[in-house]
Homo-oligomer: A and B are copies of this chain.
């Protein structure tokens, strides 16, 4: 549509029906996005194979179902519907092809087998952190990463974590999910050379302040290579881990 407009303008310049000053003026006023097809293509290409996502919290069941149906109609696969409660997941599953992961509060819509490239490790400090960890793990898996889960390896029993040092050392990205004092990210950051994506969780009580204690601990990590996403943001961590993992396993174009 917009391209057509633009084409017509250029045709007018070629034909002489539009003078150059007028064309300059109009071009200056055309919004960028409407010219932006190449950019969009580029984005689409970059994201190929990555999990699309519907953030369900704060949406009605009807809205989520409608979005899901439209995405299925467009042929999107492995679409994540995150932060959905049980009722929403049930309704989704009855309306579109979906694989439900109740423990992670999400569904994979139009699920297809995805690639399983490289390695992303998702670690959790406690069992209560598993829902957030699963959100991260499933996001990375649906986006084409091989994922290994290392759960319940909090630093109060450091040996549990060290038992997995070799596995962690072979990952291209590690997601460290922890509430309470959030020390897991620092300890892992000291064990591995790849990027560690820390996810503070709201698990805890009293002076955990809904995840603030873990968040601050992770931001202050004394291990370089650790970066942090928002409290409980398993999706963001899984998304980023997958991007890094793909960068590591895909041969770069020559000369990059």
- Residues on A lying within 8 angstroms of B by beta carbon are 3, 6-7, 10-11, 13-14, 16, 20, 23-25, 27-29, 31-39, 42-43, 46-47, 53, 57-59, 118-119, 125-128, 154-160, 162-166, 169, 172, 179-183, 186-187, 189-191, 193-195, 197, 200, 202-233, 235-237, 239-240, 243-244, 247-249, 251-252, 256
Contacts and interface: CB of A to CB of B under 8 A. Distances in A.
A179 to B, nearest CB: 8
B58 A221 contact: no
Number of copies: 8
Contact of A231 (B13, B191, B205, B214): B205
Given A155-B222, A156-B190, A158-B187, 4 more contacts: A156-B223, A181-B183, A195-B195, A206-B220
A195 B240 contact: yes
B217 A216 contact: yes
Given A127-B59, A214-B220, A217-B216, A35 B28 contact: yes
